[in-house]
Amino acid sequence: MEISWIQAALLGLFACLSSMPGLGGTSIGNYTLGRPLIGGLVCGIILGDIYTGILVGVAMQVVYIALVTPGGTVSADVRAVSYIGIPLAMIALKSYGLDAGSADGQAMATSFGTMVGTLGTVLFYGTATINLVWQHMGWKAVENGNFKKLYLVNMGLPWISHIICSFIPTLIMCKMGAPMVDLIKSYLPMDGIAMMTLFTVGSLLPCVGIAILLKQIVTKAIDFIPFFFGFTLAAALGINLVSATIIAGMFALINYRIKMLTLNKTVAVSDDEDDEEDI
């Protein structure tokens, strides 16, 4: 699989839109376009292999399912995972002849995503550092009463930061990805110790994402029951996780209505007591 300059440029554009601080906005950019699940679809469309793109995106999404960015702390930036890691993983899978849906294929995909995730952290802080220059210009404009300049500071100049720290790295790495993958293939054969180690580590990485998610939502032992309920339904009844999500939504709706009825009953009792006191 070869990536043309146009394809690499499109990947770079989406990397700009999904990077943090988000050029495409936090909700649409980072938390939508930047997620590996969506990034896999976008990469699949751009590279002409939607099937592989989505499967690779799903594999990487599990690893970063609990990724949050509290304050300015970023452990991994998804722009690199989604728009550098996924294309490189797709190239590697094609080069090694692996199916993206196989265990080895998903292990390789998660390994590539993790490798470039660290690069994304560097890109994030690089973008934030350059943006400080524009922020300083914005404060100067406010002090001088030149409020119209804020449009340039907010919507124009940040493009420079993202072109330097998102577009150009993505363009170069995606375009040069195929030769690098071929080089890796030459020095790291499938049956070698290095590749076997890569597959082993890659197969364990989704557990890290699930563990981080568990740490965030499980505060006591009984919280494990609703967490594993959906997986139990999928295993016992043969339903997929989308169906399990709909069932979970139904339980959430029932719980919500019970809570509202309890709240309304409490309010009604309180009103009756107030009326009796008035009498």
Q: pLDDT, tens digit, for every residue of 67-94?
A: 655 555 555 667 788 888 888 888 888 8
Give the angle 120-111-188 at the CA atoms, nearest 5°: 115
- Give me the pLDDT at residue 76, please: 60
Question: Given pLDDT bands bounded at 50, 70 and 90, which one contains residue 216?
Answer: confident
State the Cα–Cα distance between residues 100 and 59, nearest whole angstrom: 9
Q: Which residues contact 159 (CB under 8 A, 6 or more apart)?
A: 16, 23
Q: Tell me which residue has tokens 């959430």.
A: 252
Inform me whether the pLDDT recorded for 222 exceeds 80: yes
State the Cα–Cα distance between residues 79 and 117, nearest whole angstrom: 8
Distance from CA of residue 84 to its chain's centroid?
Answer: 13
- Give me the pLDDT at residue 275, please: 52
Inform me whether the pLDDT recorded for 276 exceeds 80: no
Domain ranges of the chain: 5-217, 220-279
State the Cα–Cα distance between residues 109 and 67, nearest whole angstrom: 18
Does 129 or 66 have the greater pLDDT score? 129
**Which one, of 221, 182, 161, 147, lies nearest residue 23 by Cα?**
161
Across 140-196, the runs of DSSP E, i.e. the strands, are: none
State the Cα–Cα distance between residues 32 and 2, nearest whole angstrom: 27
Q: pLDDT, tens digit, for every residue of 115-158?
A: 777 677 777 778 878 888 888 888 888 888 888 888 888 888 88
**CA-based diameter of the chain, in Å?**
91
Element (H, E) at 109: helix 103-143
Inter-CA distances, 144 with 116, 148, 149, 178, Å: 42, 11, 10, 51
Which of 3-7, 18-22, 24-28, 111-115 comes out lowest in average pLDDT?
A: 18-22
Question: Given pLDDT bands bounded at 50, 70 and 90, which one contains residue 24?
Answer: low
